[in-house]
Amino acid sequence: MLRTLKDIDVKGKRALVRVDLNVPLGDDSKIDKNESWRIEAIVPTLKYLIKQKAKIVLISHLGRPRGVNKKFSLKPVAKELSRLLNKKIVFNGKSGDIVMLENIRFKPGEEKNSPKLAQDLAKLGDFFVNDAFAVSHRKHASIVGIPKYLDSVVGLLFEKEIKELDKVLDSKKPLIAIIGGAKIATKIKVINRFSIIGDKVLIGGALANDIFAAQGISMGKSLIDKNSFSEVEKLDLTGSKFFLPVDLAVWDGEKVRYCEIDDVREKEKALDVGPKTINLFCDLIKDAKTIIWNGPLGYYTKPPFDKSCVEITKAINDSKAYSVVGGGDTVAFLRSIDKDNIFNHVSTGGGAMLDYLANETLPGIIALEK
C-alpha cells in the first residue's frame, strides 16, 4: 500500500516535491487559461506542506527542450503558482520557504535516469513527495531515481488519482471506454485491457484512421501513421465489444462531406466521425454505469469537426454513469466549452492514466514501494 503525505511527520522539514507543471506557453510566455488547471491541481499538496511549516523545493519539467532552451523556462509558471498560493516563490535560487528549480529536463541526466542527478536532487530534501502522477509512467531520475535515496511518499493529487482510477477498475457495469486521439502504440494495452474488463470500447479519431488504413481501406489524405500498422495487428477487434466509426466527416480543403468508411476520396481528409457514428456512440453511452474517455474523436479545434466531442459530452452529462476523463487534448476541449465539471474525475495524466488502467501500476509507484 502506498504511503501518502499524511502518513509521515513533515513539520519543519525540507520537502522535495516532484510536480507536473507541464503547461503549454504562448509566444508571449503566458499560460492558456484552459491549461492552468494543471497548476491548480497541485495547490492542495503545497498548502498542506505550508500549513505544516515545511520548506518546499519544487521539481518539474516543461515540454521537451532537448537541452537548455529559454523557451521552456519554468519562470512564467513560477509566477502563476506564486499568484495561486499568494506566496513568494524563489525561482532557481538557493533558499526560501518555496523554491522552484528550473526545468529539470534541462539536465541531460533526467531522462536517462542518472543516479548522480538523483543523488544531487535528494540532497535538497529531508523527504520526497511524488505528486506528478502525469509523468509517473516515465523512468526518469526525478520520478524513479530520488526514492532510492530519500524517504518517499505520494502527494494528495497522486493519492486522489489512484483512488479515482481504482474505481474504474472496480467499476459498476456496463463499463464503456471511449478511446480517440492519435499514438495508437500508447493505447494498444489499454484497448485490449478494456476488451476484457469493459463492456464496450468505442474507437475514433486518428486511431480509427490507422485501423482502417491498416485493413487496406483508402483514407485519402487523412492523418495516417503507417508505422503503426504493426501495432494495429496486436489489436483483437473481433467480438461484440469493439465499435469503430461507421461513417466519417471529411474535408477536401473547401467543403465538408459525410460519407461511408470506404468512400473517402483521394483529396479528402477524415477529420471527425459522422452523424451515424455519433448517434450509435451516444445510444451506447445512455446505458453505461461507468465511462472512461481519453482522446478526442475529431479535430475539435475546427468546427464542425468538434461535433462528436460536443455530442458525446452531452450524452455523458445526461447519463448517470460514474465518469472519468483524461488526456491533454480531451480536457482542453472540455475546458474550452466549460464542461470539465460534469465528470466525476478529471485526470491530470493522459499516458499515465492509460498505463495505470492497463497495468494497475506505474514505474513511479513501483519506485515508492521499494
> What are the cell numbers at 293?
474517455
Q: Which of the following is catalytic: 109, 204, 349, 351?
A: 351
Burial class of residue 338 (count of CB atoms within 10 Å of its CB; 0-12, 13-18, 19+)? exposed
Contact 314, 306 (CB under 8 A): no
Residue 328 annotated to the active site? yes
Which of 60, 356, 40 has its CA nearest to residue 364? Answer: 356
Quote the CA–CA distance of 272 and 369 in Å, as a whole number. Answer: 43
Active-site choice (79, 183, 241, 276): 183
145 belongs to the catalytic site: no
Could you say which of 18, 38, 107, 160 is catalytic? 38
Catalytic site includes residue 351 = yes
Among 181, 198, 205, 328, which one carries the catalytic annotation? 328
- The answer for residues whose C-beta is within 8 angstroms of residue 96's C-beta and 6 or more apart is 55, 88, 89, 90
Contact 173/199 with Cβ under 8 angstroms?
yes
Q: Is there a contact between 138 and 112 (Cβ–Cβ < 8 Å)?
A: no
β-pair type (127-130, 98-100): unpaired
SS3 content of the chain, % helix, strand, coil (to 5): 40, 15, 40
Cβ(227)–Cβ(216) under 8 Å? no
Residues annotated as catalytic are 38, 183, 328, 351
